[in-house]
Structure 1
Amino acid sequence: MIGWIQGLLMEKQPPALMINVNGIGYELEAPMTTFFDLPATGEAVTLFVHMVVREDAQLLFGFSSKQQRELFRSLIKVNGVGPKVALAVLSTLSAEELVQCMVNDDVTQLCKVPGIGKKTAQRLLVEMKDRLTKEFGDVVLESNRPDGAPSQEQDAIAALVSLGYRPIDASRVVKSLDKDLSSEDLIRQALRHLSGNVL
């Protein structure tokens, strides 16, 4: 199994690229988010790789970060989502935007991805939401911290997560509360909500 590849970038024509590794040209496909990070042709490049072995082909998919590759692997686990659709998702949405779609149940945004209709979008939400929260909880928290977001919200979410609550639940509850509350009051009220004792 090929985990990563390092060599000279010989060609790049989205979604395909070719890397010369010790005189052997490896053909890969990559999302646009990876193409944005590529150097000029002729320069050295290192990519994380996912390999797909089929009866009629051996396919390599390249990613500029390990996180992109893990998101790709999570996507292709969803029924009805193959490598091509997964590449389209990662070409259209950044990792943060994808996780934010899951947090907000944003079917509309997912449907903007080529090859994804409403049913596939809904399936993605159902099958990936918990998985993304577990595997990319740091992204979920980061995606809920836009510039200028009240620090007390961030503190409350972080505290709830440290207590064992899922980032997606902690963020949802905290953001539903009065934004003028202190961090301590936000935590107290969020705990009441999360424990089912809503006042």
Structure 2
Amino acid sequence: MIGYIRGEKQGQWDRGVIVDVNGVGYEIQMPSSSLAKLPPSGNELTIFTHLVWKDDTLSLYGFETIEARDMFRLLLGVSGVGPRLALNILSMLSAEELLQILAREEKKRLRAIQGIGEKTAARLCIDLKEKAKAILTKRQWDMESSPHIEQPGKGDLWDDALSALTHLGYGSSETKAALAMAFASAGESASLEDLVKKALQGLAKSRTKQA
């Protein structure tokens, strides 16, 4: 497996870029949104890659970040989603946006992407909803572990919800995990009441499983 490629940009076409590594030119297909951000030829690039071997043909797909590359791999695990469609999805949505959409099951936004119909949108949500929530929750935990990183876009709402749950007798660790899941599910536009309600539902399910 080729994890990443670092080399000099030699050229670019509508679906990808050519990178020279020690005299070998690698053709790497990329999301159109990423291609638009690449520097001119002659500059050094570092691209995180995924290798696909199909019908005796090797194809390299590249991404700006590890997160986008990992999202591409998740998409490939869904029935009916091939490399081209996965690349098209990530051309329209960032990895973070896609995770939020999947966690909230926003099928309408998925159907707005060329190549995704009702069945594929439903399949994406069914297969990836819980995985998306898990990734978002882990990121929340990572942010919680660093005292120098603030909760993005949450502010007082996060603090108020956390305080309400704590006063109900729930421990800090389980409360933060449940609240992170509530934010992923309801979105930042949700009210305090909605967030607390969803977090309580998550806490109840968690305790039921442990019983």
- Shorter chain as denominator, the TM-score bin is 0.7 to 0.9
- Report the structure, 1 or 2, having the larger helix content: 2
Match of 1:162 in 2: 173
How far, CA to CA, are the matches of 1:154 and 1:138 in structure 2?
A: 19
Q: Is the 1:101–1:109 Cα contact (8 Å) retained in structure 2?
A: yes
How far, CA to CA, are the matches of 1:35 and 1:22 in structure 2?
A: 22
Q: Is the 1:161–1:170 Cα contact (8 Å) retained in structure 2?
A: no
How far, CA to CA, are the matches of 1:190 and 1:75 in structure 2?
A: 27
Whether 1:63 aligns to 2:78 is no
Alpha-carbon deviations, 1:2-28, whole Å to 9, x = none? 111011111122312111111111011
TM-fit CA distance, 1:161:
8.6
Alpha-carbon deviations, 1:31-75, whole Å to 9, x = none? 123223321111110101100122320010011100000000000
Match of 1:183 in 2: none
Report the TM-score when normalising by structure 2.
0.74
How far, CA to CA, are the matches of 2:56 and 2:114 in structure 1?
A: 25
Q: Is the 1:50–1:61 Cα contact (8 Å) retained in structure 2?
A: yes
Aligned to 2:193, which of 168, 178, 185? 178
Structure 2: tracts of 5 or more residues without a match: 144-150, 206-211
Structure 1: tracts of 5 or more residues without a match: 180-185
How far, CA to CA, are the matches of 1:154 and 1:110 in structure 2?
A: 32
Change (3 A) 1:71 1:153: same
Aligned partner of residue 38 in structure 1, secondary structure: coil
Moved more, 46-55 or 128-137: 128-137
Give the fraction of aligned pairs with identical amino acids, expressed as a percent. Answer: 32
How far, CA to CA, are the matches of 2:160 and 2:99 in structure 1?
A: 20
Whether 1:111 aligns to 2:111 is yes
Match of 1:152 in 2: 157
Q: Is the 2:161–2:192 Cα contact (8 Å) retained in structure 1?
A: no
How far, CA to CA, are the matches of 2:87 and 2:29 in structure 1?
A: 8
